[in-house]
Structure 1
Amino acid sequence: MRSCAILLVLVALITSTGDAAEEVPAVGEKLTLSDEEWKKRLTAEQFQVLRQQGTERPFCGGYVQTKEHGPGTYHCAGCAAPLFEAGTKFESGTGWPSFFRALPDRVAELADRSHGVVRTEVTCARCDGHLGHVFDDGPRPTGRRFCINAVSLAFTPGQAEEKPDQAEQKK
Structure 2
Amino acid sequence: MTEPKIQLTDDEWREKLSAAEFAVLRRAGTERPFTGEYTDTKTPGVYECRACGAELFRSTEKFESHCGWPSFFDPKDSEAVILRRDDILGMTRVEVLCANCHSHLGHVFEGEGYPTPTDQRYCINSVSLRLVPSDPT
Normalising by structure 1, report the TM-score. 0.73
Give the match's secondary structure for 1:116. coil
For the residues of structure 2 that align with 1:126 and 1:57, how far apart are their CA atoms? 25
1:92 aligns with 2:65: yes
Give the match's secondary structure for 2:101. coil
1:1-171 counterparts in 2 under 5 A? 30-67=5-42, 69=43, 71-104=44-77, 105-136=79-110, 137=112, 138-158=114-134
Contact 1:64 1:97 in 2 (8 A): yes
Residues paired across the two proteins, number: 129
Q: Which has the larger radius of gyration?
A: 1
Give CA deviations for 1:53-80 in whole Å, capped at 9, x if unaligned. 000000111001041x2x2100000000
Normalising by structure 2, report the TM-score. 0.91
Q: Report how far residue 103 of structure 1 moved.
A: 1.1
For the residues of structure 1 that align with 2:74 and 2:7, how far apart are their CA atoms? 25
- Deviating 4+ runs (over 4 angstroms): none
Q: Report how far residue 139 of structure 1 moved.
A: 3.0
For the residues of structure 1 that align with 2:126 and 2:88, how far apart are their CA atoms? 21
Contact 1:100 1:139 in 2 (8 A): no
For the residues of structure 2 that align with 1:32 and 1:63, how far apart are their CA atoms? 27
Q: What is the aligned-residue identity percentage?
A: 50
Give CA deviations for 1:18-55 in whole Å, capped at 9, x if unaligned. xxxxxxxxxxx710000000000000000000000000
Give the match's secondary structure for 1:120. strand
What do you get for the CA RMSD once the two structures are aligned?
A: 1.1
> Structure 2: which 5+ runs fail to align?
none
